[in-house]
Amino acid sequence: MRWLILPAVLTLAVTAHGAEPWEEVSGALGQVEALPSGALSKAELEDLIAIGDELFIAKFTSAEGAGRPAATQAILPTKRRNPATSAFARTSGSDSNACSSCHNDPVPGGAGDFAATTFVSEGFTNSDFDTTDPQFSNERGTNHLFGAGLVELLAREMTAGLHAQRAAALVKARQTGAPQTVDITTKGVSFGSITARPDGIVDTSNRDGIDADLVVKPFGQKGVMVSLRQFSVNAMNHHHGMQPVERFGPRWTGEADHDGDGFADEIRAADISALVAWQATLEPPARITPEDTTWRDLAATGSQNFDAFGCATCHIRTLPLDSLSFADPGPLDTAGTLKDRDVAEPAVYELEFLEWAKTLERDDQGRVLVPLFGDLKRHTMTDRTNERLGNELLAQRFVDRTAFATTELWGVASTAPYGHRNDMTTLDEIIRAHGGEAAQSAMAYRDATDRHRTTLIAFLKTLVLN
Partner 1 sequence: MRYTLATLLLLASASSSLALKMAFPFDIPMMEEEAASAGIAHTYDGPFEYFVGGGAASFDCNGDRMADVFLAGGAGEAQLFINRSKAGGALAFEKIDPGLSANDLRRVTGAYPLHIDGDGILDLAVLRVGENWLLKGNGDCTFTKANRLWNYDGGRAWTVAFSATYEAGNRFPTLAFGNYIDRTAPGSPWGTCEANVLARPQGTDEVPNYSTPQILEPGYCALSALFTDWNASGEAALRITNDRQYYRGGQEQLWRVPQDRPARPYRTADGWQRLQIWGMGIAARDLDADGRPEYALTSMGDTKLQALDDESGEDRPIYRDQAFEKSATAHRPYTGEDGKPSTGWHAQFADFNNDARTDLFIAKGNVEAMSDFAAFDPDNLLLGTLEGGFYEAGDKAGIALKTRGRGAVVEDFNRDGMLDLLVVNRGEPTSLFRNLGRRAKPETDTGPMGNFLAIELRDETGANLSAIGARISVKTGNLTQNQTVAVGGGHASGQAGFAHFGLGVAERASVRVQWPAGENGEAEWSHAYRAFADHHIVITRGAAEPLMWFPPQ
Task: Kindly indicate which of the ranges 122-130, 145-153, 300-308, 415-423 contains the residues binding partner 1, using the contact rule CB under 8 A.
Answer: 122-130
The residues that bridge with 350 in the sheet, in sequence order, are 325
The CB-of-244 to partner 1 minimum distance in angstroms stands at: 11
**Sequence-separated (6 or more) residues with CB below 8 Å from residue 197:** 173, 179, 203
Region binding partner 1 by CB under 8 A among candidate stretches 201-209, 284-292, 348-356, 447-455: 201-209
Judged by CB under 8 A, which stretch of 128-136, 154-162, 236-244, 335-343 contacts partner 1?
335-343
Q: How far is the CB of 333 from partner 1 (least distance, A)?
A: 8
Q: Which region among 37-45, 83-91, 332-340, 403-411 touches partner 1 (by CB under 8 A)?
A: 332-340
Of 30 and 112, CB closest to partner 1: 30
Rounded distance, CA 279 to CA 272, Å?
A: 11
Residue 208 in contact with partner 1, rule: CB under 8 A: no
Q: Which of 21, 83, 177, 200 binds partner 1 (CB under 8 A)?
A: 200
Single out the residue of 242, 276, 280, 316 nearest to residue 71, CA to CA: 242
Least spacing, CB of residue 401 vs partner 1, in Å:
14
Cis amide bond preceding 244, omega within 30: no
Instruction: Please state whether beta strands 403-405 and 378-380 pair in parallel, antiparallel, or not at all (unpaired).
Output: antiparallel
Q: How far apart are CA 263 and CA 297, in angstroms?
A: 58
- What type of residue is 365? Q
**Least distance in angstroms from the C-beta of 267 to partner 1:** 11
Closest CB to partner 1 among 247 and 317?
A: 247
Q: How far is the CB of 173 from partner 1 (least distance, A)?
A: 10
Decide: helix, strand or coil at residue 424. Answer: strand
Q: Which of 42, 251, 362, 451 binds partner 1 (CB under 8 A)?
A: 251
Of 39, 160, 182, 264, the residue at the interface with partner 1 (CB under 8 A) is 264
Distance of closest approach, residue 341 Cβ to partner 1, in angstroms: 5
DSSP state of 133: -
Nearest one of 141, 147, 130, 216 to 421, comparing CA atoms = 141
CB 366 within 8 A of CB 322: no
The single residue among 33, 199, 345, 447 that binds partner 1, judged by CB under 8 A, is 199
111 touching partner 1, by CB under 8 A:
no
Q: Write out the binding residues for partner 1, residues 336-365 only, by CB under 8 A.
A: 336, 339, 341-342, 344
Binding residue count for partner 1, defined by CB under 8 A = 48
205 contributes a contact to partner 1 by CB under 8 A:
yes
Residue 178 engages partner 1 in binding (rule: CB under 8 A): no
Q: Burial-class residue 323 by CB neighbours within 10 Å (0-12, 13-18, 19+).
A: middle
| Cα first-last separation, the chain | 32
Given a contact cutoff of 8 angstroms between Cβ atoms, the answer to whether 67 and 92 are in contact is: no
Q: Which amino acid is at 262?
A: G
Cβ closer to partner 1: 199 or 307? 199
Of residues 99 and 170, the one with the C-beta less far from partner 1: 170
DSSP state of 461: T
Q: Residue 203 Cβ, how far from partner 1 at the closest point, in Å?
A: 6
* Dihedral over Cα of 116, 119, 122, 124: its sign: negative
Q: Is 297 in the site for partner 1 (CB under 8 A)?
A: no
Task: Determine the Cα–Cα distance for residues 314 and 208; give it in Å rounded to an integer.
Answer: 13
- 209 touches partner 1 (CB under 8 A): no
What sign for the dihedral angle of Cα 430, 432, 437, 440?
A: positive
The verdict on 77 binding partner 1 (CB under 8 A) reads yes
CA–CA dist 16, 28 (Å, integer): 9
Closer Cβ to partner 1, 125 or 325, answer by number? 125
CB neighbour class for 366 (10 Å; exposed up to 12, middle 13-18, buried from 19): exposed
* CB 368 within 8 Å of CB 153: no
Q: Does position 181 bind partner 1 by CB under 8 A?
A: no
87 touches partner 1 by CB under 8 A: no
Among 122, 157, 392, 437, binds partner 1 (CB under 8 A): 122
Task: Report d(CA 87, CA 73) in Å as an integer.
Answer: 12
How many angstroms separate the Cα of 55 from the Cα of each of 2, 16, 19?
20, 12, 13
State the nearest-atom distance from the C-beta of 165 to partner 1, in Å. Answer: 13
Give least dist CB 169 to partner 1, A. Answer: 10
In terms of CB distance, is 256 or 348 closer to partner 1? 256
Q: Pick from 174, 296, 388, 432: which binds partner 1 (CB under 8 A)?
A: 174
Residues that bind partner 1 (CB under 8 A): 30, 64, 74-78, 122, 124-125, 166-167, 170-171, 174, 199-205, 211-213, 215, 247, 250-257, 262-265, 334-336, 339, 341-342, 344, 397-398
